[in-house]
Structure 1
């Protein structure tokens, strides 16, 4: 039996991974370590929270004492590190929080895991660390790191720390860098749930700039499956890009969802562009395909249809989160879909 420590397991991607792993590895123990910040939602894992092989631990990844206590007492074998501050607009407003959580927190987690001999450490990162692409080409694992926002810079810093722990100490770190995620349980400030929730309420949908920024969209279940492949077969010290082969402009994403909901395009409201807004991200995921045999299951059309249906069926969930969220003047739409606590 393996004991897996998942950091940020109450957030969007982390909670989906907890459910995925427990469904596919019912013999394993899963420890869900999360600080329960604004994006951490215990209801995301309600399906497994009463199982005997599941435990929730409320904690900060920068709390070295608690991390060491958990590593020792629970005899953790594998760490899957999702916990991060991830909202780009928030990072522009206050970079210090992102540096503390994403850089210092990752270093504390790496040190505790090294001290107690963790056999595998998966550091979940983002394609945003690569910066921006032109109209052609793709990010590969050998692309230079060139972050353009405080968020992506803090994630790049955590990536480099993870790499250093492998190179210096031989610690079994593997880094994954995903494209934009979407699917169930995503916090409403992100682009796709924001479009859906606003459209269902017949409210304007704010879109940055001209709406032609391009992202590669990855269904969260495909991301969880890819990480499972990395845990089982990935090589320590390596980086694996995880992409959905689904490039779309933000405007195309908005239009697709409005059509599915039968809502007018007049709901689209263009707003001033974000500072340092990267124009295009696109992932070359051939390494994980060729080495580990992973490919995405969902097309964007199928994935977005399932996602729209989920938000329609769980209207109480996203309405409650919107009501609890701080007032951000209706402007906050993040086109990212990266790991968050």
Structure 2
């Protein structure tokens, strides 16, 4: 592959993707206009990430807003002829923020994705197109599963088919409350599938759990583990919203997710959908994550509890990744939860 275009190139998954592609000898055009700082404030800015990427010899940056069709077209007219892959990670990623500005959320998540798909179809239709979707496309359907409360977490009943491996891709995305964010991602998710099935493009949808890693610019409204560790290390107060702090998330390190992207790039399919997350390999409740952060950092977290949960929030979500593992049996996890948090802790300490 001569060249790849990566949107959200300075974010957690985008930057990891750029570095992996660069290490594999692929030139990268990064598209990122640092809207994360607009969403979550200066502390969430990705400007430092951009600086590190621009130090790489095969990286070129385009500070383009993916809602701007003219600018997206300009980039693809310039580079499309050589592009072998488009990895679309740019997004507005927060439930709560989406409700503040639904037009902005839909513009970035749905319209921006449409722009990237159509530009790919017009200028490099043979390129592999990877989309970073979310488990929030299932809305609050997971909350109807038979759940059992334990001392530190909610857990699915042992006799349920999802108990062994987690939630698979057969779960319906209909008849549920998604949140505004979840709905905009559904629109994008389905369109990426359609460009694969209708136009025959090589598109892959990766419905992520909690995506994490030391490069995450964690903020209160997005970046669960990164922000939790930041608060633990710095002494900043942390709030838990609902479900007694026993809500369960699976967490996948950015390295492992991008490694999955790499396997798909080498043997792409059309219109494929994968649940991808920490699975039974790496998951935790809020209370369990707090305990682990305190163990690793040697500090106590100053946390409080708010009774009301966030709209569309999952009580228990663990991804069944067996479909992807069946299609790509050489893909394996490198990071478990403790190793991931140890890296995040080291990054937090180094940034002080």
TM range (shorter): 0.7 to 0.9
Q: Which moved more, 1:224-233 or 1:238-247?
A: 238-247
> Aligned to 1:77, what secondary structure does the other structure show?
strand
Partner of 1:174: 204
Q: CA RMSD, aligned part only? A: 1.7
Q: Does the aligned pair in 1 maintain the 2:6–2:87 contact within 8 Å?
A: yes
Partner of 1:264: 300
Aligned to 1:111: 118
- Say which of 333, 337, 347 aligns to 1:296: 333
Q: Measure how far apart 1:40 and its partner are.
A: 4.9
1:17-54 C-alpha deviation (Å, 9 max, x unpaired): 2112212x12x110001122115513214444133321
How many residue pairs match? The answer is: 312
What are the ranges of 5 or more consecutive residues in structure 2 without an aligned counterpart? 38-43, 148-155, 157-161
Structure 1's consecutive aligned runs of 4 or more residues displaced over 3 angstroms after TM superposition are 45-48
Which stretch of the first structure deviates more once superposed, 201-210 or 7-16?
201-210
Aligned to 2:173: 145
2:275–2:320 Cα contact (<8 Å) kept: yes
Aligned counterparts of 2:32 and 2:138: Cα–Cα separation in 1: 27
Structure 2 partner of 1:330: none
Is the 1:79–1:120 contact (alpha carbons within 8 Å) kept by the matching residues of 2? yes
Q: Which moved more, 1:196-205 or 1:179-188?
A: 196-205
Q: Distance in 1 between matches of 2:50 and 2:18?
A: 7
Distance 1:298 1:52, change over 3 A: closer
Distance in 1 (alpha carbons) for counterparts of 2:52 and 2:300: 36
Return the offset for 1:276.
3.1
Checking the alignment, whether the CA contact within 8 Å between 1:165 and 1:173 is kept in structure 2 is yes
Higher relative contact order (CA 8 A, sep 6+): 1
Distance 1:101 1:47, change over 3 A: closer
Distance 2:234 2:271 in 1: 47
CA separation in 2, counterparts of 1:77 and 1:17?
14
Measured at CA, do residues 67 and 185 of structure 1 come closer, stay the same or move farther in structure 2, by a change above 3 Å?
Answer: same
Which residue is 2:350 aligned to? 313
Q: Is the 8 A contact 1:4 1:30 kept in 2?
A: yes
Work out whether 1:53 is the aligned partner of 2:81.
no
TM-score normalised to structure 1 length: 0.86
Structure 1: gaps spanning 5 or more residues: 316-341
